[in-house]
Structure formats: C-alpha cells, structure tokens
Amino acid sequence: MDHCRKVEGVQICDKRAGLRYLSKEEYLAQQPEWCDQMAWDAMATVWVDPEWIEKSKTNRANRKTPKFKPHRGGSNSIATVRQKLSKKFGREVSAIEAWVHTHRGSNPEDTNTLNTEEATLCLERYKTKATELNGPNFDWMNSPVDSRALYECSCGRPHGKWETFNGMVDDSEAMAKIKRRSTSSTANKRRRQEEDDHERARLIKDARIAKEYAQRVLEWSSGQDSYNNTIKLILESVIQHTGMPLPVAIPHPPPPPPPPTYGVYHSADQSTVNVCGHVSINIADVS
C-alpha cells in the first residue's frame, strides 16, 4: 500500500494491494522505521522468490474455495480471544465458544449459523458426533474439544489438518489417545466376535438336542400306539375265552422320554433361534 500511495500516487485498499507482487528494490524502498534493515532485506528476498510467489498464489486461491473458513479474530490466538471474552462477559469462556465467536455469522446470538456454510456444516458434524459419543446431555460448547469426535466427524486429518478447531488440539496427544481407543475397540470387537461364535456353537448344539428329542418323542408315540393295540387284543381274547374281564392289573405303558437340558437363551421360533438379538442359526441346517 505504501508503494502504491508514495511511488505510484494511487489510493488503493489493502485487499487490492495484496494481489500485487513487487521487485526486491521496491520492497526495500518501503522499509518500516521499526524494522531492522537485515531482517527487512531477508523478508524481501523471500517475497520475490518464485517458489514463495507460487505458494502465495495457491494459498490465495484456496481462500476462495468453499472449504476455506475465514475467522474474525484477526491476529489474536484462540487463547487471547478467550481472555478478552472472559473479561468482557465476566465468566470463563471455553476454547470452542471462542472459536464460534471468531466464526460468528451476521447474528452473533445464533451459534448454529456461522459466517460460512462450510464452517456451519463442520460445527454441526462435530456437535452431532460429540453428542453421539458422550450422550444427549453433553455440553459440547463448554467442554474441551473431544478429539475422538473431531477425528471421526472429519474422517481423520485430511492434509494433516483438523476440519474444525485446527490449532486448538494437541495433535500428538490426540492421535495417541485415538490410537489407544482404536486398539481397545479392535480388541473389544474381537472379544465380541469370539463370544458370538461360542454362543452360536452352543445354539447349534441345543438345536441338535431338540431335534433328537423330537425324534425320540415321535418313536415313543409310535410305541404307545403299538402298546395300546396289544393290550386291546389281549383284553378281547380274555373276554372271548372267559366271558369276564381280566382279573389282573394291566401294566402301565412306558413313560415318555425326559425333556433335554438346553442352554439359556431368550427366544426361539420355528426356523430361527436368537440370542440377545444378534446371534442366530437356522434350525433346518442342523444335522
């Protein structure tokens, strides 16, 4: 801006001035009084480097994409914003509340609608995941950032950055915690799978016992029919030859087979035995 005003005599805003690149001599000519000459020379050398200029253009283009989430905190860090807001409101302000404040939309009272659609969507995804992991009464606004919720709602850390709250999370600590949880989750899944396999094997055994018992009951029922027919023939023969009822006691028929002992499970129907709603077998497949 100083170059445009003093050298070119043009009044220009900082946004338009930021689109221009000068030569090293032009940068050196605008050295501020408060800056050391060697330091200013070093910065001017960087500013005219082709690689730096290309990176600057790339970053400028990135800031125009929907993924870019500009903030209103200026050069203030989230810690500084927290301090200022805490002093202003007379209460402790969380890091997340400070982040929301720096990304506030046209209505500062509306914490659900931020200054860009992307920022609003990212915050909504975090809120949903944090509530899912911590329960419906979780105070996401006044709690520390949940690194697990942030990781899952961001699908990891694309390009090494968090989708939301970037710079507010201790990356090494967060990733170590996520890794431990992932390892624990894998072990829990393996244990549940082993329990399910064991339960399924038990159910198959019970189904086989039930099938064998049904066969024994069928055989017993057939034996009952044969026994009754035999008794009937004996009685008819006695009456025919003696003309009077048989004076001796008729033997009792054999008792039915005792029921089998099953494992404990919750429910069963004609085709499926189900335990706790997640382990099932088809009885027709039991041999």
Tokens, residue 167: 């710079």
The whole-model pTM stands at 0.43
Each residue's pLDDT tens digit, 12-26: 666 677 778 889 998
For residue 207, give Cα distances in angstroms to 14, 58, 198, 203, 212: 80, 67, 14, 6, 9
Averaged pLDDT for residues 66-94: 79
Query: What pLDDT shows up at residue 43?
Result: 94
Specify which of 78-82, 109-113, 271-275 reaches the highest per-range mean pLDDT: 78-82
CA distance 20 to 14: 10
Query: What pLDDT shows up at residue 6?
Result: 63
HSE, side-chain direction, 13 A CA sphere, residue 166? 17
**Which residue type sits at 153?**
C
Query: What pLDDT shows up at residue 274?
Result: 43
For helices 50-62 and 37-47, what crossing angle results, to 10°? 70
Query: What pLDDT shows up at residue 267?
Result: 42
Tokens, residue 210: 């039930």
Where is pLDDT greater, at 243 or 66? 243
- The confidence band for 37, taking pLDDT boundaries of 50, 70 and 90, is very high
Q: Is the model's pLDDT at 213 over the cut of 90?
A: no
Tokens, residue 72: 């209103």
CA-based nearest residue to 68, from 115, 14, 100 = 115
HSE, side-chain direction, 13 A CA sphere, residue 159? 4
Specify which of 81-95, 169-183, 273-287 reaches the highest per-range mean pLDDT: 81-95
Q: Is the model's pLDDT at 247 over the cut of 60?
A: no
Averaged pLDDT for residues 42-70: 80
CA distance 242 to 276: 65
Q: What is the DSSP letter of 60?
A: H
Q: Is the model's pLDDT at 251 over the cut of 90?
A: no
Where is pLDDT greater, at 90 or 263? 90
Buried b (16+ CB within 10 A) or exposed e, 113-127: ebbbebbbebbebbb
**Which residue type sits at 266?**
H
CA distance 267 to 273: 7
